[in-house]
Each structure stands twice: as structure tokens, then as C-alpha cells.
Amino acid sequence: MAETTVLGILASGRGSNLQSIIDAILAGKLAAEIGVVISDKPDANALKRAADLNLTAVCVDRKQYKTQQEFEQALVNELKLHQVELVILAGFMRILSPYFVHAFANRIMNIHPSLLPAFPGKHAQEQAIQYGAKISGCTVHFVDEGMDSGPIILQQAVPVMPDDTPATLAERILQQEHVIYPQAIKLYIEKRLQIEGRMVKVVDR
Ligand code: GRF
């Protein structure tokens, strides 16, 4: 069997990006396997999606840990237990400390629903509308110690329509998230991403 890269997916909620990655694997577009899906929320729909497909689904509930460090140690232990090579944040609504980032240095990706560095943080779609932006989109980036600040891998723009609400813009952006997240993971798996400072170069192989 061809070699596959083991992914660990961290998701707090709905899990539509998780689903897009699962779909890409099932369609034979990604030489990856999902080692574990972890949520910090016991009732996350992402856990249900994973369990329905017989993937290993684990809740690491922040409330069960006294400190952020202990919580993150539990995450790292779970990821290592399942031999995870690349960590995928897919709607994981917690900031991770340098401890976690160093444990998987240059091996953590995130997707954010804006064209970074515009509109980092929460409610990115609402921020774009309130700012009056005509174009927004989504960004896949490596995770560094800052918030939504790591080297950018792929971006896709979408228009912001005059009558958009945060929900309609979020839906338009989400469709593109489901396209570029699997693409970025594929580039990583194919060893086509070279990080040079803030720059991620996509090289031919
Ligand atoms: C997406 O909009 C993603 O950009 C952001 O959180 C949301 C997660 O959605 N980081 P889902 O749980 O993957 O459906």
C-alpha cells in the first residue's frame, strides 16, 4: 500500500472542514489517513461525524484540566499516541500556547475565514462587512505563536456583496474553504511546501 500521512484533526464545532478532508481522502485525492479527531467540546458535531465514519474520535475537555498547560499536554499525548504527523485545526476555537506550537513545529495548519492579515480573530466575516471590504475570502496558514499570524500557504478570494449578512458571506467563504484546505494538505503531503521566514514557497516535485 502506498504510504499515507497521518492527520490529527482538532475541531470544536460543526466539522464541515473535517468533512471536506474526509471526502478528499475517500475520493482518493489525498494520500492521508485520519489518525484521530479531537474536540475540546463533548457535544461537537465534528466528533459525531468522525464516530459515524468509525474514525477515532476523542474529547479532550478543557474543563477537565486545571491549567492550559495540562490541557495542551493531553492534546499532545493524544496526537502522539496516534502517530499524528500533521495537525489540522478545523474550527478549533482555542488559542494554543507556544508549548503546543513547538511540539508540532511547522506541522500545524489552520484555516481562517478572511484574507489574512485582514480580519484576524473571531467573527472575521462580520468584521469584513463592517469594514466595508469588497473582497474577502479564506486563508490556510501554518500556525505560529501568534493569533492567525503564521506563514500563509493558500488563499482564495470571494466577493462581498452589498446585501451580505455575516451568515451569507460565511457560506460563500466556506465553500472555498472546503476547496483550499484539502489542496493545502495535499501540497504538504507531497512535500511541496517550503517555509522561508514568512514565505511559503510551493515547489514542483
Ligand atoms: C470555519 O469558518 C473556519 O474558517 C473557522 O471555523 C469555521 C469552522 O467550520 N476557523 P467547520 O466546523 O469546519 O464547519
Q: Is the CB of 109 under 6 A from ligand 1?
A: no
pLDDT at position 205: 83
Cell of 180: 483550499
What distance in Å separates the CA atoms of residue 73 and residue 53, rounded to the nearest whole number?
A: 27
**Residue 170, helix vs strand vs coil:** helix
For the segment 57-75, the average pLDDT, to the nearest whole number, is: 97
Please give the full DSSP string across 77-137, using - where no structure is assigned: HHHHHTT-SEEEESS--SPPPHHHHHHTTT-EEEEESS-TTSS-SS-HHHHHHHHT-SEEE
Q: How many A from CA of 37 to the centre of ligand 1?
A: 15
Q: Is the CB of 120 under 6 A from ligand 1?
A: no
Please state whether the predicted TM-score (pTM) of the whole model is above 0.85.
yes
For residue 1, pLDDT beyond 60: no
Helix, strand, coil shares, percent, the chain, to 5: 35, 25, 40
Q: Is the CB of 91 under 6 A from ligand 1?
A: yes
**Residue 168, helix vs strand vs coil:** helix
Q: Answer yes or no: 123 catalytic.
A: no
pLDDT tens-place string over residues 97-146 = 999 999 999 999 999 999 999 999 999 999 999 999 999 999 999 999 99
